[in-house]
Structure 1
Amino acid sequence: MSQPTLDVELATLVATSAEAVRAGVEALPGPRSSRLAALHADPATELPRLATAIRGYADAVIAPYWPRMRALLEREVLLGAQRMATDGVHGLLNHLNQFVRLEAETLTVEHVTLAGSVQLDGRGLLLVPSVFIGARVWSNFDSPGQPVLRFPARAVGTLWERDPTPHGRGLARVLGRTRAALLHELAVPTSTLELAGRCGLATGTVSQHLGALREAGLVGAHRVGRFVLYARTTAAEVLIAASGAGAT
């Protein structure tokens, strides 16, 4: 299944009906800014301007990091699918986030400012991992369209790290910088292809180093569908913790 591109999403935004735009603006709390007032008054003119602004922002701010963001988000989806396959819907939702829990047929989502209950009425629920929403969750269950629950993806902090072994230089001297960097990246299950992209290495090189780390008992592997994901073992966690403690 192909994923929607930003161009497709922006085209959909521009094609939004004036009635839907005005209803969305009117539902927003608080005073209406001049830009929101303009959008409410003339959606046909303001929506293309909004799309242009979003495109410019995405090109300048998100595009340089998008490959890493996409890899992290795709991994989150993959791990969620594995959880659901092994533990069912309850297992998936009850491990999604600390502010989400499913008991019997009731899904409880803790918000800071929202309260109330909504019947999904068989509309389903779209789960969307995000790298932009902090530690909490966001939902729009009461809109006419598809109910959506956005939740923070795990290991978001790794997106912005520049030194792959900031506190593990001692470990790098023992294992070598490449293998230490790979262990650092394996805080969450990761594929060979993603590791190669994140570390700037050829996939064959990554595979060789992972093989050596597996033989040493520092990395384990498991298959999820057509993917093989690698993760640190308990022995690796102990080694990394000791190295970090001694590198201050």
Structure 2
Amino acid sequence: MLEYTLAESDLGDVRFSVSPLCQMSLSLRSLKDPARYPLQLPWLQRIEARRSGLDLEILLALTNDRLWTPDLLTPRPSSPLTRIEDELDGLARADPGRFVHQLSALHGIVPAVLRGASGKVLERSVDALNAYWESCFRPDWLRMRTLLESDIAYRGRQIAQAGLASTMNGISLSMKVAGNAVSLQLRHSSDNSQPVAGRGITLVPTMFTTLACAPNDRREPPMILYAARGQGGMWQPERIASDAGAIELLGVTRAGLLTALKEPASPTELGIRFGVTASAVNQHLRALRIGRLVTSTRHGRSVLYARSELGSALLGAPSTGQGQVP
């Protein structure tokens, strides 16, 4: 078990962020053991043809049989707007000796395909990851990032409504917050307590973990990677049953959107969930807003829509204040 202990000053420095490199590096787990990630099997099928030109031998050597990866491949994101170009550039400028050391600690011995001058090993690994990103991740990154950002927006609303501790306790069955400690039940890990000591804790949602996990090296900045919510409908359009009367009045699409807006969502997220363009979703949402069935509020870079009390009344759903977006 790993335990992060927080001082009072650390409580205000718990933040959420997205890391493209973390996402891509952890996805190597699904390439190595697809059965462990059934929700991502449709994605693995989507990229099957794209993988043909990749250096899979090197990519698969970047994770071990326990599905761990070197900490340098899962850096703590420095910004909510982290770009893959910046993260890969940071990896390319890392200490090659440290990278090879992490590979050796991961496997017990450096895999044959990654032996040689440490600088060349790091260069080949970065090149393989860059090709993997361009071929398999970039075409789907908007969809993935939207899901991850939607998870963060959901957690932010939870924190506003129920508090930080309650929200963190609901993120993963393997994570628990009690008093001034955040504990993680990790596979194949001895007990370890680590003070946050003013460095803050960053929580990073991902599609490629089943339980919350943390850096292997306890000297790394405190970070917790956890399974993002909403992955079940990631790769196929969502179908939501709507009230027959609402369908008769609004049409199938607008009634479905109104039903889906029990929780606030952005047009991009809704477009991905329903398999339609964001511009089409925007047109429907504008009509629903004119009819006072939904409300809109700017949240960071996005506009979030939520069902109003009038919209809930139309569906015969209980009003729970959904129209207010924290």
Shorter-chain TM range is 0.7 to 0.9
Q: Distance in 1 between matches of 2:148 and 2:85?
A: 19
Contact 2:146 2:268 in 1 (8 A): no
Map 1:1-150 to 2 at 5 A: 3-30=81-108, 32-36=110-114, 38=115, 41-122=116-197, 123-133=199-209, 135-140=210-215, 142-150=217-225
- Indicate the residue corresponding to 1:241 in structure 2: none
**Deviation string, structure 1 residues 55-92 (Cα, Å, up to 9, x no partner):** 22122222222111111212222232333344443123
- Mark the CA change 1:209 to 1:112 in structure 2 (over 3 Å): closer, same or farther: farther
- Mark the CA change 1:64 to 1:226 in structure 2 (over 3 Å): closer, same or farther: closer
Q: Which has the higher contact order (CA 8 A, sep 6+)?
A: 2
Contact 2:243 2:315 in 1 (8 A): no
User: 1:119 is aligned with what amino acid?
Assistant: Q
- How does the TM-score come out when normalised to structure 1? 0.74
**Deviation string, structure 1 residues 94-118 (Cα, Å, up to 9, x no partner):** 1222221101112221223323122
Q: How many residues align?
A: 229
Query: CA RMSD of the aligned region, Å?
Result: 3.5
Contact 1:80 1:92 in 2 (8 A): yes
Q: Distance in 1 between matches of 2:191 and 2:208?
A: 25
Q: Distance in 1 between matches of 2:288 and 2:90?
A: 43
Contact 2:242 2:256 in 1 (8 A): no
Contact 1:190 1:231 in 2 (8 A): yes
Within the candidate set 125, 149, 154, 2:229 is matched to 154
User: 1:79 is aligned with what amino acid?
Assistant: Y
Identity %: 26
SS at match of 1:82: helix
| 2:286 maps to 1:208 | yes
SS at match of 1:211: helix
**Deviation string, structure 1 residues 145-194 (Cα, Å, up to 9, x no partner):** 31210001110122201x443x7499696453322552575475312354
Q: Distance in 1 between matches of 2:155 and 2:298?
A: 14
- Mark the CA change 1:49 to 1:170 in structure 2 (over 3 Å): closer, same or farther: farther
SS at match of 2:91: helix
Q: Distance in 2 between matches of 1:30 and 1:237?
A: 60
- Mark the CA change 1:118 to 1:79 in structure 2 (over 3 Å): closer, same or farther: same
Consecutive unaligned residues of structure 1, counting only runs of 5 or more, are 239-248
Contact 2:150 2:269 in 1 (8 A): no
How far apart are 1:223 and its partner, in Å?
Answer: 6.8
User: 2:200 is aligned with what amino acid?
Assistant: G
SS at match of 1:27: helix
SS at match of 1:101: strand
Contact 1:164 1:181 in 2 (8 A): no
How far apart are 1:235 and its partner, in Å?
Answer: 8.4
User: 2:96 is aligned with what amino acid?
Assistant: A
Q: Distance in 2 between matches of 1:14 and 1:105?
A: 37
- How does the TM-score come out when normalised to structure 2? 0.58
Consecutive unaligned residues of structure 2, counting only runs of 5 or more, are 1-78, 318-326
Q: Distance in 2 between matches of 1:184 and 1:60?
A: 36
Q: Distance in 2 between matches of 1:65 and 1:139?
A: 25
Q: Distance in 1 between matches of 2:255 and 2:123?
A: 48
- Mark the CA change 1:2 to 1:226 in structure 2 (over 3 Å): closer, same or farther: closer
